[in-house]
Amino acid sequence: MAKPVLLTVDDDREVLRAIERDLRRKYGSEYRVLRAGSGQEALEIVRELKIRNNAVALFLIDQRMPGMSGVEFLAQAITLFPDAKRVLLTAYADTEAAIAAINETGINHYLLKPWDPPEENLYPVLDELLEDWEAAFPPQFEGIRVLGNRWSPASHNIKDFLARNHVPYQWLDIETAASDAEVRSLVELLDEDETRNLPIVILPNGVRLKQPSLADLAEHAGLRTRATEAFYDLAIVGGGPAGLAAAVYGASEGLRTVMIEREAPGGQAGMSSRIENYLGFPSGLTGADLARRAVVQARRFGVEILSGEATEVRVDGPYRFLKLANGAELSCHALLVATGVQWRKLDAPGVERLTGAGIYYGAAMTEAMSTKDEDVYVVGGANSAGQAAMHFSRYARRVVILVRGSSLAASMSQYLINQLKSTPNIQIEYNTSVVEAHGEDHLEAISIHCSETNEVHKVPANSLFIMIGAAPNTDWLANIVERDERGFIYSGPQLTRDGKRPNGWKLDRDPGLLETNVPGIFVVGDVRHGSVKRVASGVGEGSVAISFVHQYLSKVV
Ligand SMILES: Cc1cc2nc3c(=O)[nH]c(=O)nc-3n(C[C@H](O)[C@H](O)[C@H](O)COP(=O)(O)OP(=O)(O)OC[C@H]3O[C@@H](n4cnc5c(N)ncnc54)[C@H](O)[C@@H]3O)c2cc1C
């Protein structure tokens, strides 16, 4: 925790140095002692402390200073730190002014200069005031703060990225400035240019990032974006369950392993509000929890986790080179593709324009709190939609699930169907699809088509969560590995056709079970052609693949 601040101000440099020395000696281990030579300079410090969300415990201020008196300084400073204790330093001749100020600016005490010996004249007074301050002061939030607008896609992306990477942050919605004093004072302290170009991310060290890219944010939020080594035994692209399992098994069996993830470890599973069918967790666990545990486990075995996107693969003899979106390149002997699938887009007028501003793909759990007492629409009939509906039903007034078919039985697990039916604020509308989204700068209404009656109804809506199936995103691998017409990657026996091995395959063995048509490039999880799309099967494939990696490496190195 950052130490609370004791700020002392005096225009006499000798006095300032002496008081600073005395404060540090007694309070330096628990408080940060700052000093300023004028009221103006001190106000600058106070504003910066407020932007950083640091706490000020005490102002110890000289009364008679040119330009701005101690009382004048305090009148401004306490609007930003109303709970800070205030002590005025006065010469004997100024005691009248100090006494008057006790009423005007709520001075807690005035001290006569000189205060020697401090053990008698300074510390007892300050001890008492600081004890009072500590007892009353709530702990400050110390992490990253994001100031933005609920309906801005850029704000949503930042919140989602931080939450899914388990980076603690505080969300401040500019729309609440009228009712929330904290938001208001921050808005007043920032430059006009900054508040006009939201979102702004404020780091604990005071650095302000205006509309940062996710790569920029990753760098500043302490996520690793560059590989520490040029070469690895095993590089894994994708940090979903399959990639994480491969990372844990690979590193635990002694392979130098790097895992590259462009959004957040956990993948689709990380977005699940409750996984109830994963072995060993009888009451279920959230995807975020599963991801967090897996990341800790992977790190413990020495896996290097990079935040970044793989954009290109090059094969050169026994080496596989991987290029990342930030321009960096790394090489490895074995490459494992575990890039899963991404949400399919809903093709209807208005949807693309309002994505991130009321329309979201997936359960977008960071938005759950904002749906409090509202109606939420969920599109989709698979388990993901069912889980999301259950999750939102805890916040929203009503959750409406729009299902294209006439039943959920074929697409959703029975336990979830039972849960949905017994939750009073969840409503399921069959034979329905969203045909248009309306709204200026955020979602205000949707048009729903009913295939039974062939009628279209326009209903007010602020939140629409779309979960209508997913597709792999493997175009960046198009010239390297063989894929089916939808982009899923072939592996093992799928590559041998009419008894013939894949084109260009030169080894005197068939491709291994989870190996692609390029020796040493493996594929696991949802992105693999014919895979079972479940957390457990991804984890199973990721761990099994490591034995094939070992077999491959034994012949290469
Ligand atoms: C909301 C929801 C709920 C679900 N609930 C359950 C459940 O209860 N039980 C169950 O068994 N299954 C469930 N599933 C399915 C399960 O989550 C998936 O089958 C599983 O996550 C697949 O794992 P994966 O590792 O293959 O891929 P993914 O989980 O899709 O992970 C792939 C990762 O690769 C990353 N990536 C992609 N391209 C790149 C690139 N070029 N560079 C770097 N990184 C990249 C992605 O960002 C992603 O994080 C659910 C899915 C969803 C969406």
Say how many Å lie between the CA of residue 527 and the centre of ligand 1. Answer: 9
Say how many Å lie between the CA of residue 267 and the centre of ligand 1. Answer: 4
Which pLDDT band, with edges at 50, 70 and 90, does 557 fall under?
Answer: low
Which pLDDT band, with edges at 50, 70 and 90, does 210 fall under?
Answer: very high
Q: What is the residue with the minimal CA distance to atom 15 of ligand 1? A: 534
Identity at 522, one-letter amino acid code? F
Say how many Å lie between the CA of residue 215 and the centre of ligand 1. Answer: 21
Answer for the pair 541, 527: CB distance below 8 angstroms, yes or no: no
Say how many Å lie between the CA of residue 340 and the centre of ligand 1. Answer: 5
Task: Look at strands 208-210 and 200-202 and give their pairing.
Answer: antiparallel
Quote the pLDDT of residue 397. Answer: 95
Answer for the pair 459, 445: CB distance below 8 angstroms, yes or no: yes
pLDDT tens per residue across span 461-485: 999 999 998 899 899 999 999 999 9
Say how many Å lie between the CA of residue 538 and the centre of ligand 1. Answer: 9
Judged against a pLDDT cut of 90, whether residue 111 lies above it is answered with: no
Give the mean pLDDT of the chain. 93
More confident residue, 168 or 45: 45
In testing the pocket of ligand 1, which one of 258, 306, 337, 339 has its CB within 8 Å of the most ligand atoms?
339
Q: What is the residue with the minimal CA distance to atom 27 of ligand 1? A: 340
The SS3 of residue 513 is coil
SS3 content of the chain, % helix, strand, coil (to 5): 35, 25, 40
Four-point Cα dihedral 479, 481, 482, 487, nearest 10: -80
Query: How far is the C-alpha of 552 from the C-alpha of 557, rounded, in Å?
Result: 9
Identity at 402, one-letter amino acid code? L
- The answer for residues whose C-beta is within 8 angstroms of residue 120's C-beta and 6 or more apart is none
Could you identify the atom of ligand 1 that is nearest to the CA of residue 268?
29
Query: How far is the C-alpha of 118 from the C-alpha of 258, rounded, in Å?
Result: 57
pLDDT tens per residue across span 113-146: 888 899 999 999 999 999 999 988 877 777 899 9
Say how many Å lie between the CA of residue 504 and the centre of ligand 1. Answer: 31
Could you identify the atom of ligand 1 that is nearest to the CA of residue 528?
26
Judged against a pLDDT cut of 80, whether residue 97 lies above it is answered with: no
Q: What is the residue with the minimal CA distance to atom 30 of ligand 1? A: 340
Q: What is the residue with the minimal CA distance to atom 35 of ligand 1? A: 238
pLDDT tens per residue across span 313-353: 999 999 999 999 999 999 999 999 999 999 999 999 999 99
Say how many Å lie between the CA of residue 522 and the centre of ligand 1. Answer: 17
Residues in the chain: 557
Quote the pLDDT of residue 450. Answer: 97
Could you identify the atom of ligand 1 that is nearest to the CA of residue 242?
25
Say how many Å lie between the CA of residue 526 and the centre of ligand 1. Answer: 7
Quote the pLDDT of residue 519. Answer: 96
> b vs e for 310-341, b when ≥16 Cβ sit within 10 Å of the residue's Cβ?
beebeeeebebbbbbeeeeebbbbbbbbbbbb
Q: What pTM was estimated for this model as a whole?
A: 0.80
**Average pLDDT estimate for 230-240:** 97
In testing the pocket of ligand 1, which one of 289, 295, 467, 535 has its CB within 8 Å of the most ligand atoms?
535
Judged against a pLDDT cut of 90, whether residue 230 lies above it is answered with: yes
Judged against a pLDDT cut of 90, whether residue 370 lies above it is answered with: no
Judged against a pLDDT cut of 90, whether residue 555 lies above it is answered with: no
Task: Look at strands 463-466 and 375-379 and give their pairing.
Answer: parallel
Say how many Å lie between the CA of residue 386 and the centre of ligand 1. Answer: 17
Nearest alpha-carbon partner for 111 in 41, 58, 72, 73: 58
pLDDT tens per residue across span 407-464: 999 999 999 999 999 999 999 999 999 999 999 999 999 999 999 999 999 999 999 9
Say how many Å lie between the CA of residue 501 and the centre of ligand 1. Answer: 30
Judged against a pLDDT cut of 80, whether residue 363 lies above it is answered with: no
Could you identify the atom of ligand 1 that is nearest to the CA of residue 271?
1
Q: Beta strands of 394-472 (E only): which ranges?
A: 398-402, 426-429, 432-438, 445-450, 455-460, 463-466, 470-471
Say how many Å lie between the CA of residue 216 and the centre of ligand 1. Answer: 24
Quote the pLDDT of residue 494. Answer: 97
Quote the pLDDT of residue 227. Answer: 94
Judged against a pLDDT cut of 90, whether residue 489 lies above it is answered with: yes
List pocket residues of ligand 1, CB cut-off 6 Å: 237-243, 260-263, 267-269, 271-272, 275-277, 309-310, 338-341, 363, 383-384, 387, 473, 525-526, 533-536, 538
- The answer for residues whose C-beta is within 8 angstroms of residue 550's C-beta and 6 or more apart is 253
Task: Name the percent of the chain lying above pLDDT 70.
Answer: 99
In testing the pocket of ligand 1, which one of 223, 225, 271, 272 has its CB within 8 Å of the most ligand atoms?
272
Could you identify the atom of ligand 1 that is nearest to the CA of residue 265?
49
